[in-house]
């Protein structure tokens, strides 16, 4: 069939039965829009066609635009582009004939929603999207055309496949001027189209918006007007929360504001959607593609629903096939020599933890740590100098690399700083520290490079001398979310690799253990995500094949070939929101310690990447991550008997008893009222002060108002009164009343939290405090309301008036004076009503606090019931011990309260959502209680009750709490129907489940591979934990006995693509790369290629 051509004919009115073109008879109207209407028609030969009548006459703007698009598309033929048969003029109107479709994607999703679905199933939608992508890429690559109006209504169904239609906005990107005219659909339009500059990736953006809408029923941008949508598309981050977690990074990249950061084609975008997270294959994997004996795909259901993306579960390690020999399993290996390069505050925390462990560790499981610590904070460097060099700490170099002032840099010359932007010289904080700006971290490193190099070289020389023929361990620790670690790491680790090679330690691998902030937006640390993003972008650059480290000739930083890159073993540990999960620096020090001592062979085996092509790894730069949790030992009397008993006692003390609540609350209420000025005098005075700070100023303001009235109105009391009421309504008001109330409530909440934290208050007393405070406020609120109705001026002070001063006749002075007295009475009344309203608002806010406390009380009561302790028995298990040991209960409960109060009790005032169930609270406190009990029991009679101090120690009687709190809990907080308490076994399982969840690295939310390892010191202990974990965990589990090892879970993650992490961080930072661009450390490297 030849190309469609333009013809001119004449016809009649458009209606069923009409024949606008010879042989084409209209049958039924099937659609109408802003540009025209579409009819089904019978064509010659009995074929069914679609005929579109474009509104307007030939020569008008919309018609000419349509004609131009038709001329461009008429020679294009593709199986997924709707066939164009002909177009011509009928009665000066443009008529277009195309093949007839079965409907549109808009019709499909509407039908699905009518059946109760939110959209189209994911697999089917991806198949539809692939048809669209094939058609669009064909247009883009062969014809340089962009559709620019991709939306469900323009994607038509023909025989179960999707065809692209309606090319009214089609643009040729080769045109010098290809700005978009009216007619675009702002819901799906990319940012560059609003600027009139469509790009080769514009249609991909529209596809991404449409994909979310068709899958979830929601759109990434929710604006209701063109202006709102334009602003959101150009400036706002998309809301992708309704998407499956594995789709979010993919769609986020396709929705990048900068078109050159999107996927290279529409098909590449769809391939990324179809590819399982963590897989390197293109398209969906068939069920037979994975051997059950090798890797198993584990979805987001891993570990009872935790996780944000599909990952691959690596096969369990064979204990007999690992390199753990008998010597390593027994802990009799020789002391391992290690070098630790620690950067910034996180590095300081890690080194401090390692050194403290060295003080207590047995010689058989101890490593020797040669340490170089670098920070811009002089105090941090000085802190580590308190440790002396010993056999276990043979080298300690603690360097303060403070920044100089801008003037000192200018006067001293800046030739050595040529690889950096000069603007950072003028942004140095007065503190001499980086304050979170990573380019300043690199500036500090360059400024002090000579002493840094000497310290590292000295440590390497000592390391080589001490290690002999053994291969030492080398670690770099720090945080990429800060200025020092983020700014120094990449230079330090590359130069360290070069120095180790030069020292003949080529076989020594460098293990980088780096912390980063939570993968959530944290307003308190606005630069942390941008610092991490900038560091990963630079890291991604150096991980690409051919991108060797260039060094810096200006400060004698040596180069390093890409083949020797030290970035293949980089662990990135992200902070977690969980209150039970360890901080990143704790995970780093735990992992480093285990790897440096008895666990090296196991962890080295776990780090192996079987069946991986090194070239593919280089093409897809990836990170590692890890989580490590030490488990409480099983089968000890402390955990099974004493811990639940003490936990129940602590929870009972946290809850409190109404018989003591009133006396506890009275004194605290008086303190709060005094501190926050909560009384009717203060509230009334604040209202009066809004009109004038004293009576003289208020009278003067009244007089100024009254003298503006006509003299004849001063004798009319009604007119004067109305005028004064209007004056006060406009001017007597508390501008910041709501913020003041919130500030008062915040102070009250902090006061309650402080008292709860130190043990001076329980939850029941806190509730009574709020109730008593509310009653007091309501009383004087009522008093103010009553007084406002009978207000009078009680002041004896006369009003002194001068006719000359006021500019009014002397005869009018009495009238003004009388009116002023009336004004003072009305002002008094109005101020009291205003103060009463403010008091009422405060009571409303306090009711919210009371509600939260009541929820906390209910949860605590349910937790007490779920302890699994026999509440009918009054026996105190501590009585089974000798008196010196039993007397440790008081200081032990103080320790337990100190450890648990802030994350669990205090936070209950804010929300109870972080506690999934009462059993979770009990299990967590039990897990903390066991080690504390063991420590106290080990201390025995060396400690005495008299040593304890503080409010918690004043009246602790475990036996009394044990016997008396059950009745109150049962009466006040009955167990809801069907919520029976857990057994000891169930509570232990819940605790283990939480441990498995806390061990899971956050970065697995970006995809990757994982291996869960369970270690214990005995086979019996190992079997016990293994059976409990396997009860809820259906993935692979490596189990290994290492003598003297504490029971622990190690969750290794690998092959987390840096691109995916960058995409996640870009989404969190709103897609705005300007900040991270400025935080790139070098100006002599081309970072313009978006990673």
Is the predicted pLDDT of residue 758 greater than 60, yes or no? yes
**What angle do helix axes 958-972 and 813-865 make, rounded to 10 degrees?**
110
- Of 986, 998, 857, 856, residue with least CA distance to 913: 856
> Given this model, what pLDDT does residue 287 score?
31
Mean pLDDT of the chain: 76
Residue 35 pLDDT grade (very low, low, confident, very high; cuts 50, 70, 90)? confident
Between 546 and 926, where is the model more confident?
Answer: 926
Of the two residues 137 and 931, the one the predictor is more confident about is 137
**Alpha carbon distances (Å) from 637 to 427, 836, 881, 937:** 59, 59, 12, 11
Confidence of residue 211 (pLDDT cuts 50, 70, 90): very high
Give pLDDT tens digits for 277-301.
Answer: 433 333 332 232 223 333 333 333 3
How long, in residues, is the chain? 1091
pLDDT in tens, 973-982: 443 333 333 3
Beta carbons within 10 angstroms of residue 113's beta carbon: 13
Domain contains 220 = yes
Spell out the long-range contacts of 70-74 with Cβ–Cβ below 8 A and sequence spacing 24 or more.
70/4, 70/96, 70/167, 72/143, 72/145, 72/167, 72/170, 72/172, 73/145, 73/167, 73/170, 74/3, 74/4
List the helix and strand counts (H, then E) for the chain: 38, 23
Instruction: Evaluate whether residue 129 is within a structural domain.
Output: yes
Helices (H), 790-905: 803-806, 813-865, 883-886, 889-900
Which pLDDT value is given to residue 297?
34
Share of the chain above pLDDT 90, in %: 17
Average pLDDT over residues 871-885: 48
Q: How far apart are CA 160 and CA 109, in angstroms?
A: 14
Largest CA distance in the chain: 114
Q: Do the domain assignments include residue 722?
A: yes
CB–CB of 995/1032 below 8 Å? no
Virtual CA dihedral for 204, 208, 209, 213, nearest 10 degrees? 140
Judgement on whether residues 594 and 612 belong to the same structural domain of the protein: yes
Least confident range of 44-48, 235-239, 301-305, 917-921: 301-305
Residue 587: predicted pLDDT: 93
User: Domain check: are 63 and 129 in the same one?
Assistant: no
The answer to whether residue 456 sits within a structural domain is yes
Output Rg (C-alpha) for the chain, integer angstroms: 37
CATH of the domain at 35: 3.30.200.20
Quick one: tokens of 904?
């669990």
- 784 in a domain, yes or no? yes
Q: How confident is the model at residue 1050 (pLDDT cuts 50, 70, 90)?
A: very high
For residues 58 and 92, the answer to whether their CB atoms sit within 8 Å is yes
What is the β-pairing status of strands 473-479 and 510-516?
Answer: parallel
- Read off the DSSP letter of residue 94: E
Do 534 and 432 belong to one domain? yes
pLDDT tens for each residue of 359-390: 765 544 578 899 999 998 888 888 777 777 88
Contact yes or no for 609/1028 (Cβ under 8 A): no
User: How many CB atoms lie under 10 A from the CB of residue 1002?
Assistant: 24
Q: Render pLDDT for 110-163 as a digit per residue (tens, 0 to 9).
A: 888 888 788 899 999 999 999 999 999 988 888 777 888 899 988 999 989 999
Q: How far apart are the first and last CA of the chain?
A: 46
Q: Which residue has the higher pLDDT, 1 or 826?
A: 826
Residue 881 lies in a domain: no
* Mean of pLDDT values over 83-96: 86
59 within a domain of the structure (yes/no): yes
Per-residue DSSP letter, 554: T
pLDDT at 169: 56
Give the C-alpha separation, 189 to 174, whole Å.
20
Residue 9: which H helix or E strand, with range?
Answer: strand 6-9
Residue that has been written with the tokens 């048809």 in this structure:
131
Please tell me whether the overall predicted TM-score, pTM, comes out greater than 0.75 for this model. Answer: no
- Mean pLDDT is lowest, of 76-85, 684-693, 910-919, 1010-1019, for 910-919
Of 255, 274, 293, which marks where a domain is finished? 274
For 440-487, the pLDDT digits (tens) are 999 989 989 999 999 999 999 999 998 888 889 999 999 999 889 999
Residue 947 clears pLDDT 50, i.e. is over it: no
Residue 1012 forms beta bridges with which residues?
1051
What pLDDT does 5 receive? 52
Residue 266 — pLDDT band, cuts 50, 70, 90?
very high
Categorize the per-residue pLDDT at 334 as very low, low, confident or very high, splitting at 50, 70 and 90.
low
Residue that finishes a domain, picked among 100, 128, 144: 100
- Token readout for 351 is 């080194």
The confidence band for 954, taking pLDDT boundaries of 50, 70 and 90, is very low
State yes or no: pLDDT of 165 exceeds 70: yes
**CATH number of the structural domain spanning residue 185:** 1.10.510.10
Residues 361 and 465 in one domain: yes
* DSSP label of 1090: -
Phi, psi of 788 (to 5 degrees): -65, -20
Give the range of the structural domain holding residue 497, as residue numbers without chain letter: 335-619
Torsion, Cα of 848, 852, 853, 855 (10° steps) = 140
Whole-number pLDDT of residue 84: 83
Chosen domain end from 274, 290, 324 = 274
Using one digit for the tens of pLDDT, what is the confidence trace for 484-500? 999 999 999 999 988 98
Lowest mean pLDDT among 44-53, 861-870, 1003-1012: 861-870
Q: How confident is the model at residue 231 (pLDDT cuts 50, 70, 90)?
A: confident
764 and 706 in a common domain:
yes
Helices (H), 144-247: 191-194, 202-216, 226-235
> Would residue 36 count as lying in a domain?
yes
pLDDT of residue 935: 64
Which residues sit opposite 312 in a β-bridge?
Answer: 297, 1009
Residue ranges of E strands in 416-480: 473-479
Look at residue 260 in the predicted model and tell me its pLDDT. 81
Helix (H) or strand (E) holding 1021: helix 1019-1030
pLDDT tens digits, one per residue of 557-580: 888 877 678 998 899 999 876 667
Whether residues 526 and 409 share a domain: the answer is yes
Residue 1013 pLDDT greater than 90, yes or no: yes
Tokens of 1078: 């400025």
Task: Decide if pLDDT at 857 tops 50.
Answer: yes
- State pLDDT tens for residues 252-263: 778 878 888 788
Per-residue pLDDT at 1091 exceeds 60: no
- Per-residue pLDDT at 682 exceeds 50: yes
As given in the structure block, the two tokens for residue 538 are 């630079």
Would the pLDDT of 40 be above 50? yes
Q: How many CB atoms lie within 10 A of CB 330?
A: 13
Shared-domain flag, residues 131 and 23:
no
pLDDT of residue 426: 76
Mean pLDDT of 326-342: 65
SS (H, E, C) 496-536: HHHHHHHCCCCCCCEEEEEEECCCCCCCCCCCHHHHHHHHH
Mean pLDDT of 697-702: 76
pLDDT, residue 636, reads: 52
Instruction: Indicate which CATH number applies to the domain containing 421.
Output: 3.40.50.1440
Q: How many domains does the chain have?
A: 4
At 623, is the secondary structure helix, strand, or coil?
Answer: strand
Half-sphere exposure (Cβ direction) of 218: Cα atoms closer than 13 Å: 11
pLDDT-based confidence at residue 270 (cuts at 50, 70, 90): very high
Q: For residue 549, what is the DSSP state? A: B
> Is residue 68 located within the same domain as residue 126?
no
Distance between CA atoms of residues 226 and 205, nearest Å: 17
Q: Are residues 584 and 473 in the same domain?
A: yes
Task: Concatenate the DSSP letters of all residues of 930-998 into one string.
Answer: HHHHHHHHHHGGGS-GGG--SGGGSS--HHHHHHHHHHHHHHHSPPPTT-PPPPHHHHHHHHHHHHHHH
Q: Does 604 share its domain with 716?
A: no
Dihedral sign from CA coordinates of 892, 895, 897, 900: negative
Query: What pLDDT, on the 0 to 100 scale, is given for residue 726?
Result: 78
Q: Strand, helix or coil at 47?
A: coil
534 and 481 housed in the same domain: yes
Neighbouring residues of 812: CB distance < 8 A, sequence distance ≥ 6: 711, 714, 803
**What angle, rounded to 10 degrees, do the helices at 528-543 and 438-447 form?**
60
Q: Provide the 10 A C-beta neighbour count for residue 888.
A: 27
Closest residue by Cα to residue 97 from 88, 110, 106, 108: 88
142 and 176 belong to one structural domain: yes
Give the CA distances from residue 44 to residues 99, 132, 189, in Å, rounded to whole numbers and listed in that order: 13, 30, 39
């Amino acid at each position: 069939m030849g190309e469609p051509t333009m013809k001119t004919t004449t016809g009649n009115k458009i209606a069923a039965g009409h024949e606008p073109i010879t042989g084409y008879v209209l049958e039924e109207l099937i659609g109408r829009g802003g540009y025209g209407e579409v009819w089904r028609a019978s064509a010659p030969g009995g074929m069914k066609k679609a005929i579109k009548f474009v509104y307007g006459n030939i020569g008008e703007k919309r018609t000419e635009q349509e004609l131009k698009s038709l001329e461009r598309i008429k020679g294009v033929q593709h199986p997924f582009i709707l066939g164009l048969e002909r177009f011509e003029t009928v009665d000066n109107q443009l008529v277009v004939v195309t093949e007839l479709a079965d409907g549109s994607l808009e019709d499909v999703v509407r039908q699905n929603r009518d059946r109760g679905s939110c959209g189209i199933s994911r697999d089917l939608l991806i198949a539809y999207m692939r048809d669209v992508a094939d058609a669009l890429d064909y247009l883009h690559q062969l014809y340089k055309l962009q559709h620019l109006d991709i939306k469900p209504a323009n994607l038509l169904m023909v025989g179960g496949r999707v065809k692209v239609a309606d090319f009214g906005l089609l643009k040729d990107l080769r045109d010098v001027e290809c700005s978009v005219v009216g007619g675009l659909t702002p819901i799906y339009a990319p940012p560059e189209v609003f600027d009139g500059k469509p790009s080769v990736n514009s249609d991909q953006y529209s596809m991404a918006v449409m994909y979310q809408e068709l899958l979830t029923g929601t759109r990434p941008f929710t604006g209701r007007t063109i202006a709102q949508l334009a602003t959101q598309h150009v400036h706002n981050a998309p809301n992708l929360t309704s998407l499956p977690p594995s789709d979010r990074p993919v769609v986020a990249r396709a929705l990048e504001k900068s078109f050159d950061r999107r996927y290279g084609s529409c098909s590449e975008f769809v391939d990324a959607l179809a590819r399982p997270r963590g897989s390197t294959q293109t398209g969906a994997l068939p069920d037979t593609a994975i051997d059950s004996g090798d890797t198993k795909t584990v979805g987001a259901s891993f570990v009872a629903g935790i996780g944000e993306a599909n990952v691959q579960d690596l096969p369990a390690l064979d204990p007999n096939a690992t390199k753990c020999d008998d010597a390593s399993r027994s802990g009799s290996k020789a002391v391992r020599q290690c070098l630790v390069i620690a950067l910034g505050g996180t590095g300081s925390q890690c080194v401090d933890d390692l050194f403290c462990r060295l003080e207590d560790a047995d010689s058989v499981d101890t490593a020797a740590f040669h340490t170089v610590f670098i920070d811009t904070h002089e105090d941090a460097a000085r802190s580590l100098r308190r440790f002396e060099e010993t056999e276990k700490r043979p080298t300690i170099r603690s360097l303060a690399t403070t920044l100089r002032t801008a003037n000192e840099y200018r006067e001293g010359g800046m030739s050595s700083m040529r690889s950096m932007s000069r603007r950072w010289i003028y942004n140095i904080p007065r503190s001499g520290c980086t304050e979170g700006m990573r380019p300043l971290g690199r500036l500090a490193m360059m400024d002090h490079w000579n002493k840094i190099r000497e310290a590292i070289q000295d440590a390497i020389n000592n390391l080589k001398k001490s290690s002999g023929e053994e291969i030492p361990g080398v670690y770099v620790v720090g945080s990429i979310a800060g200025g020092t670690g983020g700014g120094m790491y990449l230079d330090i680790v590359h130069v360290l690799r070069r120095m180790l090679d030069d020292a003949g330690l080529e076989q020594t691998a460098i293990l980088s253990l780096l912390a980063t902030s939570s993968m959530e937006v944290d307003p308190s640390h606005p630069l942390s995500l941008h610092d991490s993003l900038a560091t990963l972008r630079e890291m991604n650059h150096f991980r690409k094949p051919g991108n060797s480290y260039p060094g810096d000739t200006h400060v004698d930083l040596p180069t390093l070939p890409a083949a020797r890159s030290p970035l293949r073993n980089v662990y990135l540990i992200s902070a977690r929101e969980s209150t039970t999960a360890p901080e990143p620096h704790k995970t780093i020090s735990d992992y480093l310690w285990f790897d440096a001592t008895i666990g090296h062979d196991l962890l080295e085996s776990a780090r192996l990447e079987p069946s991986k092509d090194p070239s593919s790894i280089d093409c897809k730069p990836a990170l590692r991550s890890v989580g490590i949790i030490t488990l409480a030992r099983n089968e000890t009397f402390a955990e099974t008997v004493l811990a639940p008993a003490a936990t129940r006692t602590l929870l009972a003390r946290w809850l409190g008893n109404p018989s003591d609540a009133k006396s506890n609350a009275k004194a605290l209420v008086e303190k709060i009222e005094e501190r926050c000025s909560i009384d009717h005098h203060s509230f009334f005075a604040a209202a009066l002060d809004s009109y004038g700070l004293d009576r003289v100023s208020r009278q003067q303001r009244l007089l100024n108002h009254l003298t503006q009235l006509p003299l004849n109105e001063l004798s009319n009391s009604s007119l004067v009164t109305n005028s004064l009421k209007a004056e006060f309504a406009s001017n007597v008001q508390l501008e910041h009343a709501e913020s003041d109330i919130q500030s008062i409530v915040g102070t009250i909440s902090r006061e309650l939290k402080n008292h709860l934290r130190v043990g001076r208050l329980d939850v029941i007393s806190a509730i009574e405090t709020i109730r008593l405070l509310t009653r007091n406020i309501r009383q004087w609120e009522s008093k103010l309301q009553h007084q406002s109705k009978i207000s009078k001026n009680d002041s004896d002070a006369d009003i002194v008036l001068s006719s000359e001063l006021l500019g009014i006749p002397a005869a009018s002075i009495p009238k003004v004076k009388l009116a002023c007295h009336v004004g003072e009475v009305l002002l008094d009344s109005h101020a009291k009503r205003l103060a009463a309203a403010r008091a009422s608002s405060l009571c409303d806010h306090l009711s919210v606090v009371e509600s939260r406390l009541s929820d906390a009380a209910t949860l605590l009561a349910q937790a007490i019931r779920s302890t699994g302790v026999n509440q009918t028995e009054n026996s105190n298990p501590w009585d089974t011990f000798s008196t010196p040991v039993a007397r440790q209960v008081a200081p032990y409960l103080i320790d337990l309260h100190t450890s648990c109060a802030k994350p669990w009790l205090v936070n209950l005032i804010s929300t109870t959502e972080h506690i999934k169930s009462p059993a979770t609270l009990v299990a967590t406190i039990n897990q903390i209680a066991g080690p504390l009990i063991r420590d106290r029991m080990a201390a025995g009679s060396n400690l005495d009750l008299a040593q304890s101090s503080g409010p918690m120690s004043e009246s602790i009687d475990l036996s009394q709490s044990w016997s008396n709190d059950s009745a109150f809990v049962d009466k006040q907080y009955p167990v809801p129907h069907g919520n029976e308490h857990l057994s000891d076994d169930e509570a232990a399982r819940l605790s283990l489940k939480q441990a498995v969840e806390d061990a899971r690295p956050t970065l697995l939310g970006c995809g990757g591979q994982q291996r869960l390892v369970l270690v214990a010191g005995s086979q019996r202990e190992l079997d016990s934990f293994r059976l409990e974990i396997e009860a809820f965990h259906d993935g692979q589990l490596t189990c290994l006995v290492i003598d003297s090892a504490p029971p622990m879970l190690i969750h290794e993650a690998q092959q987390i693509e840096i691109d995916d992490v960058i995409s996640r961080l870009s989404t969190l930072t709103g897609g705005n790369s300007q900040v991270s661009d400025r935080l790139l450390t070098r100006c002599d490297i081309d970072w313009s290629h978006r990673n």
